[in-house]
Amino acid sequence: MTIEDQPGPARPPGETGSSRQRPAQRLAGATLTFDLGAELEQLRQEESYRAGDRNARTLVKEGGLRIVLTALQAGARLREHSAPGPISVQTLAGRIRLHAADETVDLPVGGLLALDRNVAHDVEALEDSAFLLTIAWP
C-alpha cells in the first residue's frame, strides 16, 4: 500500500494526502508537468532513502496509467515481482540491471526496457541510480 492509498481524511480525487516529508500532490489531471531532477533530489533527501537504500514517488495515477520515479542506492535490489499490465523502465541516473524472462539487461542512463504484462523481473542498482517506471494498467 502506498501513501496515497492509505485511508485518511477526504481529499479531492486524484490528489495525495500530505506527510511530514511531502506536501499533497495531484496525481491526475488534464495536464501534469514535472521537473524530474527536482523530484529526484527530493527523493534522495527523504529519510527513507538516507536511512534505507531506496525511495519512490508516484507521479501519475490516473485511469490505466501509473508513472513512478524510483531512486536506488548502489547495491539495492527490488526482489522479483510482476505487473498486471505492460511496463517500461527508463534509466535517468546511474546504471541498473534487470533480470527478466531468462535474460539479464543492463540499462545505463538513457536506456529503456519494455516488458509485457505479468513478466516476472527484479531490479538491481549497480551504482546510485534512478529510473522512471511506466505501467499501462489493464
Supply the DSSP string of 42-108, one letter for each residue. HHHHSHHHHSSSEEEEEEEEETTEEEEEEEE-TT-EEEEE--SS-EEEEEEESEEEEEETTEEEEEE
What global pTM score does this model have? Answer: 0.81
Query: pLDDT tens digits, residue range 39-55?
Result: 999 999 999 999 999 99
For the domain made up of 34-136, give the CATH fold: Jelly Rolls (2.60.120)
Percent of the chain with pLDDT over 70: 82
Burial environment of residue 96 by CB neighbours within 10 A (0 to 12, 13 to 18, 19 or more): buried
